[in-house]
Amino acid sequence: MKKIKAALLAALLSSRAFFCFAQNVSENASEVSQSLIPLEVFVGDQAELRYSFRSAVDFFPNAALVMEKEIDINKLPFKNLYNSIAIKSAYFSRNDMEYVISLQIVPWRPGIIEFPPFDLFSALNLSDKDKNKNISYSILFEPIEIKSIVEKTNLRDMQPPSPPFIIPGTTYALFAILLAALIVFALILRALIKFGDIRRWFKHMSMRRAYKKNSSVAVKKIKRLLRNKKISDIDFCAGLQNITRAYLEFRFDYPFKSASARAIREGFSKICLDDIPDSIAYSVEDLTSMFIRTDYIRYAHDSIDSQLYPPAEHQAKLASYERKSLSDMALKAIALFESDGASEEGVDVL
């Protein structure tokens, strides 16, 4: 009887100690940082709010080195902010030992926006076997400032009413002016041909078509590779690397085929004259992670490193979800590099 009482007392003390740990687990995070991309966000702009931290808590038990999970935005306690901001999507990912919470937002009102804290475990909606109901992990975003469109345009007064575009009775005069303009344009066009401007314009358009074809071929090959369930992890990683490297080398005229995985970011830094735009920085980091991971699968097979513990982090084998996540990294990067936003940042012209 005494042994039973002693065992019950020990269990009670252990459960109380574990509950105290659960209450304080959110205080164990280190190296917390927050960034807003772009740095200045105006009303109506689409932006990304990123919250990064390191923690001893394992939110992805038995997961591989790189993982991403979509967060149900309805799980986030931000309903009181919906009049000020729209949250399009939310993702939680891990890269090595760093965790990142990413929110895609569109603000509707200027000013300071403050976010209420929330429990990360509840937002992730983990299964019962992957979490303990007594554990909570509080996340609190720092307030962000949304600027007014007035600050962007510097227009503070209402514009005066515009006069009519066409004055009554001037239709025939406008047709005559248009005809004269067409004749002048034809003469100018003929003169420009002599100086090669038109040839250069056609050359530029042909390059744009070549870039589009290059991206289209790469996307089709990646999707075809992803559908092939019979190839090994090593062949899959080699194929994904070859397709992505060929796309990047043609797109940016830089020797990405021979660059090491860790030199991918250095290559983009040279292309962008040591100033990688914020709009593509996240995709460049994703590509670097993808190349490092696929290199490990290709070359660490049956090596000493692949036998280290824990096996989930060191074994040279792709998890069930990794083929999709690695392919998505490449596909998202290609879509971004071919978008108008990347061209406006200067990526297209270098």
Output the pLDDT for position 225: 93
Q: Which of 6, 98, 4, 107 is nearest to 48 (CA)?
A: 107
Residue 245 carries which side chain, given as an amino acid letter?
Answer: R
Which tokens in the block code for residue 143?
A: 């307030």
Given 3-state DSSP classes, what are the helix, strand and coil percentages for the chain, each rounded to the nearest 5? Answer: 50, 15, 30
Q: Which of 150, 117, 153 is nearest to 136 (CA)?
A: 117
Q: Which helix (H) or strand (E) holds 112?
A: strand 111-113
Q: Report the predicted TM-score, pTM, of the whole model to 2 decimal places.
A: 0.42
Instruction: Show Cβ contacts of residue 131 under 8 Å, excluding neighbours closer than 6 positions.
Output: 121, 124
Output the pLDDT for position 342: 55
Beta bridge partners of 15: none
Q: Strands 111-113 and 118-119, how do they pair? A: unpaired
- Return the residue matching tokens 């960034």: 35
From first to last of the 350 residues of the chain, give the pLDDT tens digit. Answer: 444 444 443 444 344 433 333 344 444 445 789 999 988 888 888 999 999 988 877 777 666 555 788 888 888 888 888 888 989 899 988 887 788 999 999 998 888 999 999 888 888 876 544 555 556 788 899 999 998 877 666 665 556 665 555 666 667 777 888 899 999 988 888 777 766 666 777 777 888 899 999 999 999 999 999 999 899 989 999 999 999 999 999 999 999 988 888 888 899 988 888 888 888 998 999 999 999 988 888 887 665 555 454 544 556 788 888 899 999 999 999 999 988 655 544 455 33
Output the pLDDT for position 201: 72
